[in-house]
Structure 1
Amino acid sequence: MEGDGGSAGKQETAASKVQKEAASAGVSVNEWLQHVKATFLGLVRKVTARSEQEAAEADLRTAKAQVEATDEAEAKKKQLAQG
């Protein structure tokens, strides 16, 4: 009987690990999509900029959005690893 309890615990742990890895992969995909969105919007802003200053601001906004996406994804992955 004790052997059954141990294997059940291992199955729950394995299932939990797979679930965490799937959630982490989902977070990575979401991060990638946010990077793509930021890049696309940055290009649109840069193309429609009326001056070099607006183009530079578009680049800065793009970089900021990408950093925020990365930071958010890292925080979510850390939370998944702890939980």
Structure 2
Amino acid sequence: MEGNGKETTAMSRAPRDAAAAGVSVRESLQHAWASFLGLVRKVTARSEEEAAEADMRAAKMQVEATDEAEAKKKQLAD
């Protein structure tokens, strides 16, 4: 049986779309983990300076997760 071409394209794109969705889920989990760690560090901070450092570290982890996810998604698209 021959397909109409659209089925083949959709079928070949499905694994990439699934991989991109997996990357997005991983990114979300990394963001949640960074937020959790930042909150724990902030609560256990002994000074304003340590609390500010905890916020900055959490933000940095989130940015790194986003950058990593964008790079992987771009790699999948190529």
1:1-23, Cα deviation, whole Å (9 max, x unpaired)? xxx4xx48655432220111111
Structure with greater helix percent: 1
Question: Is 1:43–2:39 an aligned residue pair?
Answer: yes
1:78 aligns with 2:74: yes
RMSD: 1.8
* Structure 2: runs of 5 or more not aligned: none
Query: TM-score, normalised to structure 1's length?
Result: 0.85
Question: Following TM superposition, where does structure 1 have runs of at least 4 consecutive aligned residues deviating by more than 6 angstroms?
Answer: none
In structure 2, the residue matched to 1:52 is: 48
Please name the residue that 2:57 is paired with: 61
Aligned residue for 2:62, secondary structure, equals helix
- TM-score (norm: length of structure 2): 0.90
Q: 1:18 aligns with which of 7, 11, 14?
A: 14
